Each structure stands twice: as structure tokens, then as C-alpha cells.
Structure 1
């Protein structure tokens, strides 16, 4: 699966929320965010504390109140800033060695941070070959592999639906499913995150991105949830 959005839209939080709420064994390659950022976000997601409060507690090491919540989530992070394919394979094999099985969910955040032979001069070069590799890894391990990615210039403001053609680097041939995220501008009501299924080999999709679902977005507490759950 490929999830594409403009900067600041919330694609990393979207993926992290998926991992935390699903509670399935997860290996998260967090090349784009450091440990402090991910732990702070995780505390906010699990407790609905304000982000500022979560950050203060993480900095102070005051996590006794959330220790049980954190330890019940079967997620491991890899914080290599520019992982290679060998790094990814090694982490997967190590996970299997430690736990006796591969993770059910693998997140690559984001795909342009992965270092390949073709990406030395251009971070978008070789993306299709990389997608082929990750697709094969998903088939061989049975994991759901979610890769985060960027969009083209006209859609970086994140305010309008993003079509399949708005995904950067022509990488959409390989993934089974492609989602694009945007933040609709609304005069009334709370903030929402728009999720467009622009490619779906197993079901309904709208390449224009205009057919989208809305999720409630509460930035102060790092909350993304179904609107009906509000």
C-alpha cells in the first residue's frame, strides 16, 4: 500500500495511528521522524493527551501512567535515517529470529528516504524498482507493507483531493492500493482528514481522488478517528 500526501498533512500520524490502534505486530522504519517525535505522538494517540503535555512527560521521563499502554502495543521502530535494502532485510530477519514470525504490518516512512543504488543523485530515481522489492517482500512474508510518499507540486498545499496522477515519481504501477490524504478547508465543524482511494486492485477506487472518506482530525491530541466515533 502506498499513502501519499503533501507535507504537514498527517501521513506519518495516519500510519502511526494505524499501527497503534490495530495492535498487530508492527515493524516501523521511521527514517523521517526521530524517537522523541514518535514516542510523543504515540503517547498522545494512546492517551488523547495534548501534544505539548505528552512532549513534557517524555522529556521528563514521566511515563509511569502510560507504561502499560505502551508495552501492550507490539511495535518496534527502526530509526536509521537512510536505510538500505540490506538494512530492511536484516531488520525483517532479526524480527523473525526474535519473535518467531515476521511482522504483520511494516511501515516505511518514507519511501524516498530508502537508499538504493539509483538514489544517490536523485531521491526519486529507482522508486519503481524499490516498490517492486517491497511488493515481493510483502508476498514472501505475508506482511502488509505501507509506504509513505510525496505528491507533486500542485497538491503540496494539502487543501484539495489528490488524484492518482498527483503522486510523485510515477511509482503507482506496483502497489495494490494507493491512498492520498488531504485536509479539506471547512467553514463550520471540526477539522477532518480526507482519504481518497485512488487505486485498489481488490475493490472500488476513484483515480480522480474526488470520492473520499472523512476522518476526524484533532491536531492538539494527535487524534485521527472515524467521524461517527466523535
Structure 2
């Protein structure tokens, strides 16, 4: 599970993560439109901004061909639509197996509260988590599910750019996965903070006070282990 408050680049982080894995991936998106997902993925793969991708697609010719070639080489298959239903999941998996003669190695659900009936129903959310666990066992795939943390806690108001602790994840559902990550973005310096709040086979910190730091480039859907060098037209404040 990847959990975070609203606006913390959860979808971008998940998309970047699976793109770096470069494994056959089936990505269920209820948060992003097809155009947004394609633009984000193309910007990441070509080191262009999403604005440059959009302009290139409008221009056509060699400009659009560059981005289309990058997308064609990607191993990520998207499924769009809200709400996410188990019938749609079954149909997409059947189509994937028909096309590739195998299950995807990675399945992403973006996000838990976009499943049919799970927007605010805790019982339904628990049922989804059980279904996700069963899906992982049946397919052998690594399943990543995105989820929200509360924006209304005292911690969210007093320290909004710190990763939320495990008890701030909505419904307490971060306890079920093998691994639960809590993420936060500091927009003043573009630090991306990732805490391990639950790990079945390793160390974790449910308070999320210990976290790793990366640097985020939202316009390129990229995350860096070290602070990126300044690009033309940007200032240190922008970075």
C-alpha cells in the first residue's frame, strides 16, 4: 500500500515506481484520465515536461512520434474507469492473459476508495483488501494499492508535509498489506518523503518519523535519490 494525503503525488510515485521496475504491469486508474496518464508516462520516459508532451502531440509529425514511440515501448497497460469493479478487473485480466498468455507481474489499483461501494464504507474497503490479497495469491503478481490518509487530524494541520503515521491512514487499512508506505511532498523544496509504516518481514516505524528522502519533479513525473541539478529557466526556489 502507498498511502498519503491529498495532493502528495501518490499516482505519480506509483507510476514512476512501476515504470522503473520495467515489468509487465496492469494499472487500474480511476484518478487519472487516459490523456493524463499517457502524458505523465511520456514525460517520464523522454525527460520532457507534460506541457512539452502536450505541445508535441498537438504539433504531430516527428514531435508526436517521439512520444508515441516511447509509450509503445512501455510495459504498462492501463485500464481506466470509475468506479473500479471486480467484474472489470476479471475482464481486464482475461483480456491480458488472452493477449500475452500470462498474468501481469505487477497490478496497481489507484485507488482503494475508487472501488465500487468503497468510497466511505469500511466493510466494503475491508472486502476490497481481502479481494486484493486473494488476487495476489491467485496470479502471483505484486499488487500495489493506493489509499488516502486523513487531512483532518491535528498532525495534518500542524505538520502537513510529514508522512502520515499509520493511525492516520483511513480505516486503519495499512495494517493488512505485506508492506505499507506513507508518503508526503514538501512543495517548498520538492522533497518527497517516504516512510515504512508497516512491513511484515522487516523494520518499520508506525509513527512515520523515520523516512527516506527523494526529490520530486512533478512536471516530469520523476523522483530522484539526490537533488536534481538546476534546469534552464528554473531557480533554486523552484527546485
TM-score (norm 2): 0.86
For the residue of structure 2 that corresponds to 1:208, the secondary structure is coil
Cα RMSD, aligned residues only:
2.1
Please state how far the C-alpha of 1:42 moved relative to its aligned partner. Answer: 0.8
Change (3 A) 1:37 1:213: same
Deviations 1:4-30 (A, max 9, x none): 111111000001101222110000001
Query: What's 1:209 paired with?
Result: 208
Does the 8 Å contact 2:175/2:198 carry over to 1? Answer: no
Please state how far the C-alpha of 1:144 moved relative to its aligned partner. Answer: 0.7
Deviations 1:28-53 (A, max 9, x none): 00111100110111111111212211
Query: What's 1:178 paired with?
Result: 180
TM-score (norm 1): 0.89
For the residue of structure 2 that corresponds to 1:171, the secondary structure is helix
Does the 8 Å contact 1:5/1:158 carry over to 2? Answer: no
d(CA) in 1 for partners of 2:65, 2:187: 38
Please state how far the C-alpha of 1:123 moved relative to its aligned partner. Answer: 4.9
Specify which of 113, 126, 129 is matched with residue 124 of structure 2.
126
Query: What's 2:54 paired with?
Result: 55
Does the 8 Å contact 1:9/1:183 carry over to 2? Answer: yes
Asked whether 1:140 is paired with 2:143, we answer no
Please state how far the C-alpha of 1:193 moved relative to its aligned partner. Answer: 0.4
For the residue of structure 2 that corresponds to 1:55, the secondary structure is helix
d(CA) in 1 for partners of 2:99, 2:202: 36
For the residue of structure 1 that corresponds to 2:129, the secondary structure is helix
Structure 2: which 5+ runs fail to align?
230-239
Query: What's 1:6 paired with?
Result: 5
Deviations 1:153-179 (A, max 9, x none): 223884112111110122123211110
Deviations 1:59-79 (A, max 9, x none): 455421133322121111111
Structure 1 stretches of at least 4 aligned residues deviating more than 6 Å after TM superposition: none
Asked whether 1:41 is paired with 2:43, we answer no
